[in-house]
């Protein structure tokens, strides 16, 4: 038997090894497709379809040519996903940098306002020292000191809240695209999708829903009420629309339609959110009546996100009268 000749047993072993190698390769492609779908469904959807098609083709037509071609396709699809992921990452970095700048400016503004108020109070005190009768000076000084102490506490609390918000920006929860209470997209994801739509010519409107009455609910029941509100809101928007929790009892909705249709739908959604909500916890029950106010802004060609949001907030204030 020459070196190039194999026994039937060796041929069977070689074919078994080749079959195992191909099956492992096909399983790897399947796992990559599943992983991409789980980690980045928005980015990976078209590429996942290509990988699934590639796997099916190799399963029915396994030749040296198709294997070499599959390697090129796999590398191309993975490179495309990596490029998209890098763009999203860079966008989030830009968002964090812009937010950091805003927070720094707010820090400066608070500090200036704090010192400005303190200076005004001291000046007022000196002026009153001259103008007031001696028996009133002690009361005045006590009043000024009390106001200044309250001001210091207020600014300290605002500073702490800003520090907490800044810290949250670096946590995994902040990087997530979902609100942990309602399960709706969070504000970061909502902003990302609005910015993406602003880069296109698609007509859409931004709605703000503000639920009045939530402050009457015991905090222990508030989350359950918010979940019910979110579920009701999600049931009233279409798949191509978008809803997210903004803050406290405020929700944002993006409707892909013109202002006439959006106005009618805004009233309908507000009516659907208005009403009584009931929550139970540890044998206790809370019932609250919520009223939904809505503000609306139609996108304009020159709009940036903050301009669109500002007009929607102005509309919300007008709706309350």
User: What are 41-81's pLDDT values in tens digits?
Assistant: 666 667 767 777 777 777 777 777 777 777 777 777 777 77
Query: Mean pLDDT, to the nearest integer, of 145-172?
Result: 57
Partner residues linked to 277 by β-bridges: 288
Q: How confident is the model at residue 7 (pLDDT cuts 50, 70, 90)?
A: confident
Residue 117, judged by CB atoms within 10 A of its CB (0-12, 13-18, 19+), counts as middle
- What percentage of the chain carries pLDDT values higher than 70? 64
Mean pLDDT (the chain) is: 77
Is the pLDDT higher at 56 or at 314? 314
Q: How confident is the model at residue 232 (pLDDT cuts 50, 70, 90)?
A: very high
Partner residues linked to 297 by β-bridges: 206
pLDDT at residue 1 in the model: 45
pLDDT at residue 74 in the model: 73
Is the per-residue pLDDT at 308 higher than 80?
yes
CA distance 310 to 297: 9
Planar angle of CA 154, 221, 172, nearest 5 degrees: 65
Q: How confident is the model at residue 254 (pLDDT cuts 50, 70, 90)?
A: very high
Is the per-residue pLDDT at 104 higher than 70?
no
Task: Please give the backbone phi and psi of residue 140, each rounded to the nearest 5 degrees, phi first.
Answer: -65, -45
Lowest mean pLDDT, pick from 16-25, 156-165, 216-225, 266-275: 156-165
pLDDT at residue 192 in the model: 87
Q: Is the pTM of this model over 0.85?
A: no
pLDDT at residue 123 in the model: 62
Crossing angle of helices 187-198 and 305-320, in 10° steps, is 110
Burial 17-54 (b: 16+ CB within 10 A, else e): eeeeeeeebbeebeebbeebbeebeebbeebbeebeeb
Q: How confident is the model at residue 189 (pLDDT cuts 50, 70, 90)?
A: confident
Is the per-residue pLDDT at 270 higher than 60?
yes
Fold of the domain spanning 177-320 = Alpha-Beta Plaits (3.30.70)
Planar angle of CA 261, 208, 179, nearest 5 degrees: 120
Lowest mean pLDDT, pick from 77-86, 152-161, 206-215, 229-238: 152-161
Q: How confident is the model at residue 133 (pLDDT cuts 50, 70, 90)?
A: low
């Amino acid at each position: 038997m020459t070196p190039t000749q194999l026994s039937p047993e060796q041929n069977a072993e070689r074919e078994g090894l080749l079959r195992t190698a191909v099956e492992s390769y096909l399983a790897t492609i399947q796992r990559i497709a599943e992983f991409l779908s789980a980690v980045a469904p928005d980015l990976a959807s078209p590429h996942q379809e290509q990988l699934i098609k590639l796997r099916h083709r190799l399963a029915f037509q396994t030749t040296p040519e198709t294997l070499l071609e599959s390697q090129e396709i796999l590398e191309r699809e993975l490179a495309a996903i990596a490029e998209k992921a890098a763009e999203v990452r860079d966008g989030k970095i830009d968002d964090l940098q812009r937010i950091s700048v805003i927070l720094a400016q707010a820090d400066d503004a608070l500090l200036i306002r704090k010192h400005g108020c303190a200076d005004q109070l001291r000046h007022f005190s000196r002026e009153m020292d001259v103008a007031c009768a001696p028996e009133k000076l002690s009361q005045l000084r006590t009043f000024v000191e009390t106001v200044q102490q309250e001001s210091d506490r207020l600014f300290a609390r605002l500073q702490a809240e800003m520090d907490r918000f800044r810290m949250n920006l670096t946590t995994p929860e902040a990087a997530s695209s979902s609100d942990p209470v309602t399960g709706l997209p969070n504000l970061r994801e909502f902003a990302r999708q609005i910015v993406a739509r602003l880069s296109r010519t698609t007509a859409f409107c931004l709605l703000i829903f503000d639920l009045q009455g939530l402050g009457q609910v015991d905090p222990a029941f508030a989350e359950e009420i918010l979940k019910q509100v979110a579920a009701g809101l999600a049931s009233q928007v279409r798949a191509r629309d978008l809803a997210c929790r903004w803050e406290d009892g405020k929700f944002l909705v993006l409707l892909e339609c013109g202002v006439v249709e959006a106005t009618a739908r805004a009233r309908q959604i507000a009516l659907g959110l208005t009403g009584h909500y009931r929550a139970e916890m540890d044998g206790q029950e809370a019932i609250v009546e919520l009223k939904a106010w809505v503000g609306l802004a139609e996108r304009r060609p020159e709009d940036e996100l903050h301009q669109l949001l500002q007009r929607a907030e102005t509309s919300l204030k007008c709706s309350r009268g």
